[in-house]
Amino acid sequence: MDSPDAAESLPQASASRTAQIRRLDALAAPVRGRLRVAGGCTVVAGWLLVPQAALIALLVQRGFVEGAEPTTLVPALLALVAVGVARAALLLGARRNADRASTELRAGLRRTLAGRLLGRGAPWLRRQRSGGLSELAATHVDALDGYFGGYLLARLEVSMVPLAYLVVAFLVEPVVGVLLLVTMPLAPVFMMLVGRGAQAASQGQLRALSRMGGHFADRLRGLGLIRVYGRGEAELAGIGDAAEGLRERSLKVLRIAFLSSAVLEFFASVSVALIALYLGMSYLGMMDLRGGAALTLGTGLFLLLLAPEFYAPMRRLAAHYHDRASALAALEEIEHALADDVEPAPSLAERPESPARSTPAVTDTSTAAPAVSLQHISVRHAGAARDALSAVSLDIAPGEFVALAGGSGSGKSTLLEAVAGWLPLREGRIEIAPHDARIGYAPQRPYLFHGSIADNLRIARPDADDAALHAAAEAAQVMRFTARLPDGLDTVIGERGFGLSGGEARRIALARLFLRNPALALLDEPTAFLDPDTERAVLDALAMFARGRTLIVATHSDAALATAGRVVTLDASGGLR
């Protein structure tokens, strides 16, 4: 902190913090109405405490000190019940609205996050750790709950309610008003000091949580491999270390949270004790700051009821203060994920007649078989030293069935992914005419999520009816293996398709493609790992499916090559032979 740089960076840090808080508050725009209702209910409930305390004090004064007839107290008693009920209803309304606002806000943010992340396309997603992404969408987004569901209300309450109590206290007993006024700034000053450390600690904790989530999910996925290679103990130690790091960081956040609440509790208790002391000494005649005017029991009771409530909103704010720190930390992580820092795919930018797309766009609707023209394209994978495709030119006529042949690593999958719009081109261009042709892609390693086989098929067309689903599954020879499963198409399979063979997973990908009903179908080794009999059936289905569509199929299979209308061979250097 002693360097001039550090001194200069303080105002900068607080300016960026203010900007961050503004951005955080801006997230609440869609649920602003609900938050306002919640805030209004909280403030009015706080104000109603004044008549509530006054009525209690009045009843005690009249009933016990002045010995009034019980029947004369009935109206005040009824009023007390009415105020109590109104406060309870208002507080309930506040809680409900705040909770609903927070839930809606988080759901919206998750939708945005999912859309943005998916928009970056398959190659980007494939490089991410799904554990980390799910932490982002789950834990980080949930970290905003405390802020919107708690902190914001507490902040509004602090700005509107204690001030009203202060005015009332001054009107009733100025000495108590002065005592409250003097002790009032302690809370915000202390919270400001604590808040600085809290955000950094929360950020550290969220990052550790994210790392831990990613680490754990990766290890779970590779559990089989870990066992086979006898890496169990070492991995266990790694997970132990990650968990220990998280524990330390979580304790740091908790320490700060507990410390701030404990200090506030202390100040609040001391202040209330001071007021009680003053009132007690006044009653005993040991202190007279009222110029001889007597202090009634009712007045004293009223002030004693009000005093702890004066600090209550500040204590609530302190309890939620680390929520703000967590929310700011989470916002930073979320903004980082939402930032458009991925380079735009040049292949898309250079297709003037084609709308930019990083995955086969669902909005593409043209069903006419398109022509595909690759003009001198070169593609290099991120981080690779050489081009996977170099200067490839290829013209495919509408309705043509082209097989891509070539050795392993010659670039067949890369070519399919480039045509699908998943990969940026280093040079050249790809024209698909009509440009809005619906594209379907069955990759080599299809992604199967946890759910039934039918669910896994329906992601290609969520509104597909059972008949369409069965027809697609039948054609792709999925029914051959589901017939043996206990629940048929409703059999549940795991993430990454645990429980299905490679050939079965590919047939699901093929059925998805059939269901999508694309005009341009890109298939990556659809018949790998199939026995000759099943391969024949799949190829027959494919030949039928090819009618009226353009097909590009990467394959090593002679039978598949024979089915195609034309064979294009890629050489080892990623060029056309």
- Catalog residues that contact ligand ATP under the rule CB under 6 A: 381, 384, 388, 406, 408-414, 444, 554
> Of 386 and 484, which has the nearer Cβ to ligand ATP?
386
Dist CA 274 CA 284 (whole Å): 15
Closest separation between CB of residue 560 and ligand ATP, Å? 12
Say which amino acid occupies 190.
Answer: F
Closest by CA to 141, choosing from 162, 114, 179, is: 114
The minimum distance between CB 502 and ligand ATP, in angstroms, equals 13
In the bound complex, what is the minimum distance in angstroms from residue 421's beta carbon to ligand ATP? 16
Q: Looking at beta carbons only, is 373 or 444 nearer to ligand ATP? A: 444
Residue 396 or 519: the one with the smaller Cβ distance to ligand ATP is: 396
**Pair of tokens at residue 168:** 């009332």
Compute the distance between CA of residue 278 and CA of residue 274 in angstroms, rounded to an integer.
6
Residue 58 or 389: the one with the smaller Cβ distance to ligand ATP is: 389
C-beta closer to ligand ATP: residue 31 or 405: 405
In degrees, rounded to 5, the angle at the alpha carbon of residue 264 between the alpha carbons of residues 261 and 268 is 135
For 461-485, give the DSSP string.
-TT--HHHHHHHHHHTTHHHHHTTS
CB of 358 to ligand ATP, least distance (A): 15
Q: Is the Cβ of residue 123 or residue 238 nearer to ligand ATP in the bound state?
A: 123
Here the tokens at position 572 are 């080892």
Please name the amino acid found at residue 96. R
What's the closest the beta carbon of residue 462 comes to ligand ATP, in angstroms? Answer: 29
> Is residue 347 a contact partner of residue 423, using CB atoms and an 8 Å limit?
yes
Residue 214 phi/psi, 5-degree rounding, is: -65, -45
Spell 404-443 as b/e; 16+ CB within 10 A means b: bbbeeebbbbbbbbbbbbbbbbebbbbbbebebbbbbbbb
**Per the structure block, which two tokens stand in for 207?**
């990052």
Polymer length in residues for the chain? 577
Kindly state the smallest distance separating residue 405's Cβ from ligand ATP, in Å.
Answer: 9
- Strand 492-493 relative to strand 371-379, pairing: unpaired
Smallest gap, in angstroms, from Cβ of residue 553 to ligand ATP? 12
Cβ 412 to ligand ATP shortest distance, Å: 4
Q: ω before 355 within 30° of 0 (cis)?
A: no
Map residue 529 onto helix, strand or coil.
coil
- The Cα–Cα gap between 331 and 464 comes to 38
Cβ proximity to ligand ATP: between 381 and 536 the closer is 381
> 354 or 414, CB closer to ligand ATP?
414
